Amino acid sequence: MSFFKSPKKTITDTSFGSMTYGRNDWEAEVDIEGETDPVAVWIDAAEEGPGTEHRQAFRNLKTLLPLASAAIEGALYELYTPYLSFTDWEVPRPRSPEHLRKMLRLDAIAISSSKPPKLFYGFRGDVWPDASFYLEVDDGEIRPISLDD
């Protein structure tokens, strides 16, 4: 007996471009000003696709991100600072928020209609490949959430 997977549902959205429906969310890759690589966007939306609130949240983020670089750098460095005390641990040693931000890339954005958007940053290359910095954007304010490794 063979099992066949049905093809994933895809749509083209005016804000997100080409999107694919996964198990519980929509996925797209978008260009964000200031980022050198496309950024994954995960939208928590029903199979019908993203709604007006998702598009508005994304437009707000695209406007905010270039203007909030200092706040983003500060939030990322706040998450990283506790690791500076581990002298025997071989991890990156950026000594300023600006230096750390240059080592990171925005990997993904999560957008939900019921929660503030989240930003996921990781190190470029394999410097500290499994480290993930999580920030939240609530009402235009950038907040550090966690650094997972």
Q: What is the pLDDT of residues 10-59, one digit of tens each?
A: 999 999 999 999 888 999 999 998 888 999 999 999 989 999 999 999 99
**Quick one: pLDDT band at residue 147, thresholds 50, 70, 90?**
very high
Give yes or no for residue 84 having a pLDDT over 60.
yes
Q: What is the mean pLDDT of the chain?
A: 89
Share of the chain above pLDDT 70, in %: 91
Residues 64 and 135 sit within 8 Å (Cβ to Cβ): no
Place of tokens 């519980």: 24
Per-residue pLDDT at 124: 87
pTM over 0.75: yes
Q: Which residues, in sequence order, are CB contacts of 61 under 8 Å at separation 6+?
A: 109, 111, 117, 137
Query: In whole angstroms, what is the distance from residue 69 CA to residue 89 CA?
Result: 28
Residue 121 neighbours by CB distance under 10 Å? 23
